[in-house]
Amino acid sequence: MIEVEVDLGDRSYPVLVGAGVRHELPALLPDDVRRVAVITQEGIGVDVDPGVAFEVFTLPDGEAAKNLGTIESLCSSLAVSGFTRRDLIVGVGGGVVTDIAGFCAAVYHRGIRFMTVPTTLLGQIDAAIGGKTGVNLPEGKNLVGAFWQPSAVFCDTATLESLPPREFQSGMGELAKYNFLGGAAPGEPPLDELPLDERVAASVRIKADVVASDEREGGRRAILNYGHTLGHALETSGSYDIRHGEGVAIGLAYAAEVAFELGRIDADRVAEHYRVLGAYDLEAALPANANPAELIDLFSRDKKALDGVTFVLDGPDGVETVVGIDRSVLEAAMERMERMAKS
């Protein structure tokens, strides 16, 4: 078992990583917790015993559950069952569940404690760490939410064994991202050569460090969106059969090409992006039916676009946010990607 701390002063919390760590939950439950509300989804099938009285609230499967109606009905169910601020919520599932459970914890009785057992690779290395909680509106994803930190996170890697192969592989896109956000500690092998548990722990450590330095995304935290600008556009355009992590992987290759066009990185560093994506068995090319002009149009609608087209890009000082990128640069980078795919 590996333990990583998210250092937020008196709101610091541990993230445990390893096979079977969800069984450590009773040991980390605060002594004064009377009862636990376990929030999960139908298809998750991961048992959690908090070691005190608990009630399970099961949401329907899928992203469609992530809305304000679900929050209202969950809060009503908690009220009917008599849960109070002395109790605690545990979210068991992927990012959809941990986002809903965390937001429910943030608003029920003006905020109660919560812990998460993320059961997907994406959840373990991203969604469940860092206190971003919330739900979608018909107008867009994650438009209503709160920063609400958990008291502990249990990244039980045994739960990954039952993931559908494509879901697991999609998580690899997010995992590959961390190779460029600090990667392995000096003297250690690159992240892509570590066993999965250690890779998850190393990614959690990088995310914990970024969150500790910028909890509310005033600046540095935005680097966690490396690869996400094109990734989101591919996901939201509706024209492609693409999962989040698959989009991030293609977005990492594209971000490297944009950085190259701007003279921020050299050809070797671009090649390193393609090497890492290959090591994770990730597709680095645009979908065959991609429409680059439509994708570039979508960038300007990305919620992180602060001033013209904004990208998180690699460069001499590492990965950082770059604003005001010309359309001609974005088009040239698309052409480079298309040439690369043909070569």
Q: Point out which residues bind ligand GLY (CB under 6 A).
A: 126, 130, 132, 217, 221, 224
Give the active site residue among 113, 174, 179, 235.
174
303 labelled catalytic: no
Nearer to ligand GLY, 135 or 224 (CB): 224
Cβ proximity to ligand GLY: between 36 and 105 the closer is 105
Identify whether 232 is a catalytic site residue: yes
Smallest gap, in angstroms, from Cβ of residue 211 to ligand GLY?
Answer: 7
Residue 281 beta carbon to ligand GLY: minimum distance, rounded to whole angstroms: 23
Least gap, CB of 158 to ligand GLY (angstroms) = 24
Q: Is 228 a catalytic residue?
A: yes
Minimum distance from residue 155 beta carbon to ligand GLY (Å): 15
| Given the residues 66, 228, 243, 273, the one annotated as active site | 228
Active site residue 221: yes
Measured CA to CA, the distance from residue 40 to residue 96 in angstroms comes to 9
Residue (115 or 334) nearer to ligand GLY, CB:
115
List the catalytic residue out of 132, 177, 199, 243.
132
User: Is 142 annotated as catalytic?
Assistant: no
Residue 244 appears among annotated catalytic residues: yes
Instruction: Clarify whether 132 is annotated catalytic.
Output: yes
From 66, 199, 232, 243, the catalytic residue: 232
Residue closer to ligand GLY (CB basis): 87 or 246:
246
Nearer to ligand GLY by Cβ, of 116 and 261: the residue is 116
Measured from each CB, the residue nearest to ligand GLY is 224
Question: What is the 3-class SS of the chain, one letter each residue?
Answer: CEEEEECCHHHCEEEEEECCHHHHHHHHCCCCCCEEEEEEECCCCCCCCCCCEEEEEEECCCHHHCCHHHHHHHHHHHHHCCCCCCCEEEEEECHHHHHHHHHHHHHHHHCCEEEEEECCHHHHHHHCCCCEEEEEECCEEEEEEEECCCCEEEEEHHHHHHCCHHHHHHHHHHHHHHHHCCCCCCCCCCHHHCCHHHHHHHHHHHHHHHHHHCCCCCCHHHHHHCCHHHHHHHHHCCCCCCCHHHHHHHHHHHHHHHHHHCCCCCHHHHHHHHHHHHHCCCCCCCCCCCCHHHHHHHHCCCCCCCCCCCEEECCCCCCEEECCCCHHHHHHHHHHHHHHHHC
Would you say 221 or 336 has its CB closer to ligand GLY? 221
For the bound state, the minimum distance from the C-beta of residue 276 to ligand GLY, rounded and expressed in Å, comes to 19
- C-beta of 309: minimal distance to ligand GLY in Å? 19
So which residues are the catalytic ones? 110, 132, 174, 207, 217, 221, 225, 228, 232, 244
